[in-house]
Structure 1
Amino acid sequence: MPESVTVHEGVTYAERESGELALDLYRPEVEDPPLVVYVHGGGWVAETRANIPDPERYAAEWGCAIASVSYRLQEVPDGADVEVDPSNPTPRGAFPDHFVDVKAAIRWLRAHADDYGYDATDVAVWGSSAGGHLALLAGVVDDVTDLGDAFADELTKTVAPDASGAVQAVVSWYGVSDFTAVDDEGGPVSLLFGGTREERPERYAQASPVTHVTPESPPTLLMHGREDEMVAVEQSRRFYDALDDAGVNALRYELHDLNHVWVEDLADIESERVAMDLLAAEPTHAQSVYEATHVPEGGTPTPLLADLPPAGPDAIRRFLERTVG
């Protein structure tokens, strides 16, 4: 394990009308480590980039530079049935600002790789919950301007526009993949798209990662609790099936008795910062693993993980080594 990790906190990567957007970068003392971009959860309306599981530890153990990025959170109008923390300093906007910012951070990080000493040739993106949705979307939509006609007037590249925003691997914890299967009238999803699924069908479809899956989509590692009451496990199943149908390698872990953020009861949710500890707790949680490995004509099988370790940091490490390491 590397002896130390260099931390760069509060690095500004974008200036928006509502304020500055920053990232925290954790770089292990190894030569040219690959880059992992972390996107926090919080229902698109809450939390900050500090909501990341032990980044210094995993930067060291995985030998990866990890960047935890801020993105504009959804503006919540007075009277909306969605709670927000008024002390959260993160700038706010309206979807697709969240996606625009994640892509901007990826481009900025790729453009500044030499400045900070990591290798951004291949980039992995990892997200949880709302961040899982944004990570999946960043994986299957290479250029921010390709999200779709429903958002065309709101998609611009002002940050490192000449750099690529494409990613080569995705890790999603309990992220939404198909909004057309979500009923959320009055909740954060209808707030996100400015109306119900029936009122804004194009936005619901084009913001859904499953809509954009192609044979060129990156390999993906999905982890989801079967008892998730906030984002149904069916969301990860739909995305996995779409990748499999397109001939893209994928892995899906289902944790049998776990809810959102790897707790057994929603009342026990604390923070994503302790989520990895819960996921990797002993004894190992009962789980099922599904693997889609596609073999090129005349080739040999190259699975994403050779021996399918339990869900947790070791599985993520091995996936990253296989895809971007």
Structure 2
Amino acid sequence: MTNDVTVHEGITYADRETGELKLDLYLPEKENPPLVVYVHGGGWIAETRSNIPDPEQYAAEWDCAIASVSYRLQEAPDGAAVEEMYDPTNPTPRGHFPDHFVDVKAAIRWLRAHAGEYGYDTDKIAAWGSSAGGHLALLAGVVDDVTDLGDAFADEVEQTVAPEESGAVQAVVSWYGAADFTLVEDDVEGLIPLLMGGPQSEIPERWAQASPVTHVTPESPPTLLMHGREDEVVAVEHSHRFFDALEEAGVNAIFYELHDLNHVWVEDVEDIESERVAMDLLAADPTHAQSVYEATHVEAGGSPDPLLADLPPAGPEAIQQFLDRTIR
């Protein structure tokens, strides 16, 4: 136990053909806290669940349980144009999309099934993800469970872990997540065509159904988006399109667009390290230029109930206020 947070590392939540999938759980002293499920970045092909901003610190500061989950990473055939990202020593099991999404939903259902054992509240769960993890967190928000992903994936999804539990989440935080694959160049050598199993021109249904923006409805959960305007890895237009879709559907949302910042909150893409230091970079200059877009929907005769009371700068305080408003 550190910083009044109890840590359970390496909990197995699923056993796939390629190996065990694990999660790390961080529990604050607060009795029956709400739960945040973190999905790491790494281009769907790299990194591990340790790629997370200090979970002990934020579990304590936010009074939230945090679960950082592993998911099957993308397998890459010999000669694929992703060699610089593919690390054969990474111990995480591998597979092919939609395995990544299947695993994130399995972790959410497993966490619901074991809430009594660990002592957190699963009536309301938030998904938080960065980059590729942002894509999976957004998808987890707008698609109730894997069987709702779409006809293009119907033969590739199955609920084998805690199938009796709900895989839905009640709030989403996305850092520079991919929301609309149709924005990606249709390049047969690229990462997204590898993920989708072919170019968009040949399998447009898979590209569309794997895009979170496709699934937005009035029942989608409130969402907090943060994205750098100068992002060279995932264009900021992804978050613009997702925010616009939420606004049109009547879903409350907040979108922070950070001027001059690139992927993982750096100014130069060559300086990217990992999400482990991302919150420190974001919090280092809270006065950094940013535009904030807010969609607050009011029923006839009702009163506005914004997601953030005073619109603090992008960073831990904004996330905490959002979680306080949505999952407490």
Please state which band the TM-score falls in when normalised by the shorter chain: over 0.9
Separation in structure 1 between the aligned mates of residue 273 and residue 327 of structure 2, nearest angstrom? 31
Corresponding residue for 1:90? 92
Deviations 1:200-245 (A, max 9, x none): 1000000000110000000000000000001000000000000000
Which is worse superposed, 290-299 or 279-288? 279-288
TM-score (norm 1): 0.98
Shift of 1:197: 1.0
Offset at residue 187 of structure 1 (A): 1.5
What secondary structure is seen at the aligned counterpart in 2 of 1:257?
coil
Q: Is the counterpart of residue 169 in structure 1 residue 171 in structure 2?
A: yes
Matches within 5 A, 1:102-251: 102-185=104-187, 186-251=189-254
Give how far 1:143 is off. Answer: 1.8
- Contact 1:44–1:73, Cα closer than 8 Å, also in 2: yes
Amino acid at match of 2:25: L
Equivalent residue for 2:11? 11
RMSD: 0.9
Q: How many residues align?
A: 324
Q: Who is 1:75 aligned against?
A: 75
Q: Tell me how far apart the structure 2 counterparts of residues 44 and 158 of structure 1 sit (CA, whole Å).
A: 22
Aligned match of 2:294: 291
Read off the aligned partner of 1:263 and give its amino acid letter: V
How does 1:7-46 map onto structure 2 within 5 Å?
Answer: 7-46=7-46
Asked whether 1:65 is paired with 2:68, we answer no
Name whichever of 115-124 and 177-186 sits farther off.
Answer: 177-186
Amino acid at match of 1:160: A
| Mapped contact 2:3–2:56 kept (Cα < 8 A) | no
Q: Counterpart of 1:109 in 2: which secondary structure?
A: helix
Quote the offset at 1:26 in angstroms: 0.2
Q: Secondary structure at the match of 1:280?
A: helix
| Residues 284 and 144 of structure 1: CA distance in aligned 2, closer, same or farther (over 3 Å) | same
- C-alpha deviation, 1:284, in angstroms: 2.1
Structure 1: distance between partners of 2:246 and 2:155:
29
The answer to whether the Cα contact below 8 Å between 1:3 and 1:29 also exists between their aligned partners in 2 is no
- Separation in 2 of the partners of 1:283 and 1:99? 33
1:282 Cα deviation after fit: 2.7
Secondary structure of the equivalent of 2:284? coil
Indicate how the Cα distance of structure 1 residues 81 and 161 shifts in structure 2: closer, same or farther if over 3 A, else same.
Answer: same
Rounded Cα–Cα distance in structure 2 between residues aligned with 1:156 and 1:201: 22
Match of 2:262 in 1: 259
Given that 1:107 and 1:160 are in contact with CA atoms closer than 8 Å, whether structure 2 keeps it comes out as yes
How far off is 1:297 after superposition?
A: 2.1
Q: Which residue of 1 aligns with 2:326?
A: 323
Alpha-carbon contact 2:71-2:92 (below 8 Å) kept: yes
Alpha-carbon distance in 2 for matches of 1:46, 1:75: 10
Distance in 2 separating the partners of 1:318 and 1:187: 38
- Does the aligned pair in 1 maintain the 2:18–2:94 contact within 8 Å? yes
SS at 1:215's partner residue? Answer: coil
Aligned to 2:57, what secondary structure does the other structure show? helix
The verdict on how the C-alpha distance between 1:283 and 1:311 changes in structure 2, with shifts beyond 3 A counting, is closer
Aligned-residue offset at 1:298: 2.0
Mapped partners of 1:201, 1:132: distance in 2: 22
Distance 1:226 1:130 in 2: 17
Between the aligned partners of 1:3 and 1:29, the Cα distance in structure 2 is 9
TM-score (norm 2): 0.98
Residue deviations 1:85-108 (CA, integer Å, cap 9, x gap): 111000000000000000000000
Q: 1:180 deviation in Å?
A: 1.3
SS of structure 2 residue aligned to 1:189: helix
Gaps of 5+ in 2: none
Q: Secondary structure at the match of 2:67?
A: strand
Q: Is the 8 A contact 2:72 2:92 kept in 1?
A: yes
